Amino acid sequence: MDLDEEHVRGATPPEASGREPHRLRNTLLTLLIPVTALGATVAVMAWKGNPKEKLRAQSSALPSVGAATATPTKAPPSVSPETATVDRPWAGSPAEAWPAGPDGLALPQATAVGVFDQDRVAKDLELAKAFLVATNLDPKVVAGGYPQAALDLTNQQNGDDLAADLAHPSKENDPATWVSRFDPEWAVPVTDQVKVQGLITFEGDGEQGLLVHVDVTFVYALKPGPQVGKAAPSTGPTTPGGGSRPSGGSSSSGAKSVALIQAEPGTVEVEREIVRRKLDIRFADPARFQVKKDKVSLTRWSTERANTLCGFHDGYLRPSFRADRSSGTAAPSGGPATDPYDWSRPLDESGECGTASRS
C-alpha cells in the first residue's frame, strides 16, 4: 500500500454573489505499500501436511458486521493469516466480515436542515450514495470502464474538472483520488463484490445549504493482469527520493507486521487493495445559487490507498503483486506501518509514501 500527494479539487462553496467559483484546494492521497514488499519483519509460515486443511482450521470465523452507524473507537480485530484465493478472496482479512456493495453504505435518518426540508435532505443523501456507488462499486467502472454515470451526477464545473482529469491524468490531477478503477492490463477483479465499511453523516452549512460527510473504506480483490512483472509504464515510480514520488512514511502507532501463509504453487495470486475515501459533498439551494437540483458538488476529497504501488498517476489504482515486487517494479518505501482497516484513526495527511501493516 502506498501514499501519495495532496489533491483536492472541485466545486467550492457557492458565494453570496450567486456564482459557484472553481478553486483549487488541498486534499491528500496517502499510498501505503504492504510490509511484505518492503523487506520488513514478516513471519512467512510454510505448513507441513495438507495446507488446505490447515487453512480451514485457521479460518478467521469473524462474526458478520453490518453497515456502520458510528465511527469505531479501535481497529478491527486481528484475523488468522490465510491466503486469499479466487474462491475466498477475503480470507485473512477483516473485510471478510464486512457488508458488500451498497449494503455497506448506510444513510442516516434525514431531518430538515436550513432551507431544505426532510424530503429534500433524504433525496440528497441518496444522490451522495449514488455517487459513491458510481465511483467505487460499479463493476464496469472498477474493471476499468469510464465513470460516465458519476459525471452525470455532478454539477457542471465539477463534471468538467473530473472529465479533464480522466482525459489527462497527472500527479496533480489523478482520477484515482476519487474513482476506483483498475487497468485490466495490470489488475483484474476476481469478483464483482466489493467489501465496504464506513460512515455517511450530514449537517447544515448555513447559507451554503447541506453538507454531506463521507468516510468509507472499500476493499477490492484482484488477480494480476498480463502486464504485471513486465517493464513498468512511463508513468511508473521513480527511484527513492525522486521528484515524482514522495519519500518518508505515514504515521501510525502500535501497528504489527502481518503473518502470511505461502501460496500453493500454480495457484492464482489474489491481492487486495484497500481504499479509504473521505469526501465532503455539498448541496446548495438552486433558488439562490447557480447549481442544479439533483446534482452533487464535491468540495473536498482525500484518499488513502493500501497494498498499492507508489508513484503511478495514470488514473488507475495499481495493486502490488509478487511479480512487481520481484521484478523491482514496486518502488521501496519506508516509515511506520499503518493499519488500512483501522478507520478509527485520522486519515493520514502527511502526503508521504508509507507502509501498511496488513492487506
Report the alpha-carbon distance of residue 7 to residue 168 in Å, rounded. Answer: 15
Q: State if pTM tops 0.95.
A: no
More confident residue, 289 or 146: 146
Report the alpha-carbon distance of residue 150 to residue 48 in Å, rounded. Answer: 49
Supply the pLDDT for residue 311: 83
- Percent residues over pLDDT 90 in the chain: 49
Supply the pLDDT for residue 267: 81
More confident residue, 176 or 15: 176
Q: Report the amino acid identity of residue 349.
A: E
- The DSSP-derived string for 331-352 is ----S-EE-TT-TTSPPP-S--
Q: Report the amino acid identity of residue 176.
A: A
Q: Which three cell numbers stand for residue 301?
A: 476529497
Q: Which of 284, 260, 277 is nearest to 37 (CA)?
A: 260
Lowest-pLDDT choice from 43-47, 70-74, 275-279, 322-326: 43-47
Which residue do the cell numbers 482529469 mark? 165
Burial of 343 (0-12, 13-18, 19+ CB in 10 A): buried
Q: What is the pLDDT of residues 30-73, one digit of tens each?
A: 566 554 433 322 222 222 233 343 333 344 557 788 788 788 87
Which residue do the cell numbers 478553486 mark? 23
Supply the pLDDT for residue 128: 98
Q: What is the pLDDT of residues 187-226, one digit of tens each?
A: 999 999 999 999 999 999 877 889 999 999 999 999 999 9
Report the alpha-carbon distance of residue 290 to residue 18 in Å, rounded. Answer: 6
Report the alpha-carbon distance of residue 328 to residue 310 in Å, rounded. Answer: 12
Burial annotation 40-57 (CB, 10 A radius, 16+ → b, else e): eeeeeeeeeeebeeebee
Report the alpha-carbon distance of residue 251 to residue 195 in Å, rounded. Answer: 25
Report the alpha-carbon distance of residue 153 to residue 148 in Å, rounded. Answer: 9
pLDDT at 243 over 90: no
Report the alpha-carbon distance of residue 256 to residue 51 in Å, rounded. Answer: 24
- CA distances 355 to 1, 38, 214, 327, 338, Å, are 6, 8, 24, 19, 6
More confident residue, 275 or 257: 275
**Count of Cβ atoms closer than 10 Å to residue 108 Cβ:** 14
By residue count, the chain amounts to 359
Q: What is the pLDDT of residues 126-142, one digit of tens each?
A: 999 999 999 999 999 99
Domain boundaries, the chain: 8-356
